[in-house]
């Protein structure tokens, strides 16, 4: 049975699809595609059905040579049962996810993705949406670090 990871940001067009695709890339390179399943979602409904932001896609291609696949969807209550670990990009996303779980039953499944970084000290993945190219590149760098640490973690559980 696969270990299921869900990456969550606000709109599911920049940070979380990048994390999903970077993690899938690392999982594939490690030959673990049958053991680890990745998906992404947004806490808002702003972009449901949309592809990743073109600037985010360009950064993923230029920094890592990968295309961002998938389309935006909204986080839903059933995701708590479906996924083993839910990874929030920032503290607002984290709070919004926990708010959906009023019973607190699934709080142990929710973590900040930057908890898995080993090279970067930022505790949150900044939203690059209103910034320039450098912000998108920074997100890719941060997520590569976090996903490498996350892969090590998943392999140890």
CA angle at residue 120 from 84 to 6, to 5 degrees? 20
Q: Which residues pair with 8 in a beta bridge?
A: 41, 88
| Cα 155–chain centre separation | 18
Point out the catalytic residue in the list 15, 53, 55, 147: 15
Point out the catalytic residue in the list 39, 53, 90, 127: 127
Whether residue 119 lies in the annotated active site: no
Whether residue 15 lies in the annotated active site: yes
Contacts made by residues 105-113, CB under 8 angstroms, sequence distance 24+: 105/80, 106/80, 106/81, 109/80, 109/83, 109/84, 109/85, 110/86, 111/85, 111/86, 111/87, 112/87, 112/88, 113/7, 113/19, 113/87, 113/88, 113/89, 113/143, 113/146, 113/150
Whether residue 35 lies in the annotated active site: no
- What is the set of active-site residues? 9, 15, 127
């Amino acid at each position: 049975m696969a270990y299921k990871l869900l990456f969550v940001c606000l709109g599911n067009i920049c940070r979380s699809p990048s994390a999903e695709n970077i993690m899938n890339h690392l999982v594939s390179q490690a030959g673990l595609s049958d053991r680890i399943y990745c998906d992404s979602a947004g806490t808002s409904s702003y972009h449901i059905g949309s592809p990743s932001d073109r600037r985010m896609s360009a950064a993923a291609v230029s920094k890592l040579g990968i295309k961002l696949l998938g389309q935006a969807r909204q986080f839903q209550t059933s995701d708590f049962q479906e996924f083993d670990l839910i990874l929030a990009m920032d503290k607002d996303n984290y709070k919004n996810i926990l708010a959906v779980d009023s019973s607190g039953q699934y709080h142990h499944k929710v973590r900040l993705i930057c908890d898995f970084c080993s090279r970067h000290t930022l505790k949150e993945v900044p939203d690059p949406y209103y910034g320039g190219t450098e912000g998108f590149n920074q997100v890719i760098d941060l997520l590569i670090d976090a996903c490498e640490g996350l892969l090590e973690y998943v392999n140890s559980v």
